Amino acid sequence: MKPTDPCPCGSARRLAECCGPALSGERPAASAEALMRSRYTAFALRDTAYLLASWHPSTRPTTLVLDDDPPPKWIGLQVRAHHPLDADHAEVEFVARCRVGGRAQRLHETSRFVREDGRWYYVDGDQHA
């Protein structure tokens, strides 16, 4: 994917202007919602290093292997709600859609985020049916 391509998170901006700076380490995500969008983009690009780095150490897995065969094709993200709880805690409800082997799937989750030392981290989430 090129920096001039549309960002996979669906923001209607180019990757270089949207999630690209967070993924490259140039600039941290400015909010919990921005971090969630960048993590969706990282899943779409299969960037396990970014996914692990943006995961809070208290809940981060030791390794993350994206070895699905065939890999999912991420096709859409809808942010349903962004709830700042205080200056350093927030929740984001979203629906992420993908296709695996031609079959459509969706992930509906409310994720929890925490900000430490000026950087947002994904903590965990509750999936909805």
> What domain range is 28 assigned to?
15-127
Cis peptide before 84 (omega within 30 of 0): no
Q: Is residue 2 part of a domain?
A: no
Q: Whole-angstrom Cα distance, residue 36 to residue 100?
A: 21
Please determine, for residue 129, whether its predicted confidence score (pLDDT) is greater than 90: no
Helices (H) and strands (E) in the chain, counts: 3, 4
| Domain presence at residue 101 | yes
Task: Decide if 67 contacts 92 (C-beta within 8 A).
Answer: no
In a domain, 9, yes or no: no
Residue 48 placed within a domain: yes
Q: How far apart are CA 112 and CA 9, in angstroms?
A: 18
Residue 54 lies in a domain: yes
Within-domain flag for 77: yes
As given in the structure block, the two tokens for residue 8 are 């996979």
| CA distance linking residue 38 with residue 14, whole number of Å | 13
Residue 53 sits in a domain whose CATH number is: 3.10.450.50
This prediction has a pTM of 0.94
Which contacts qualify for 23-28: CB closer than 8 Å, 24 or more apart?
A: 23/47, 23/50, 28/118, 28/119, 28/120
In a domain, 26, yes or no: yes
Q: How many domains does the chain have?
A: 1
Is there a domain that residue 1 lies in?
Answer: no
| 23-44 tens-digit pLDDT | 999 999 999 999 999 999 999 9
Mean residue pLDDT across the chain? 95
| Residue-wise pLDDT tens digits, 54-86 | 999 999 999 998 877 888 999 999 999 999 999
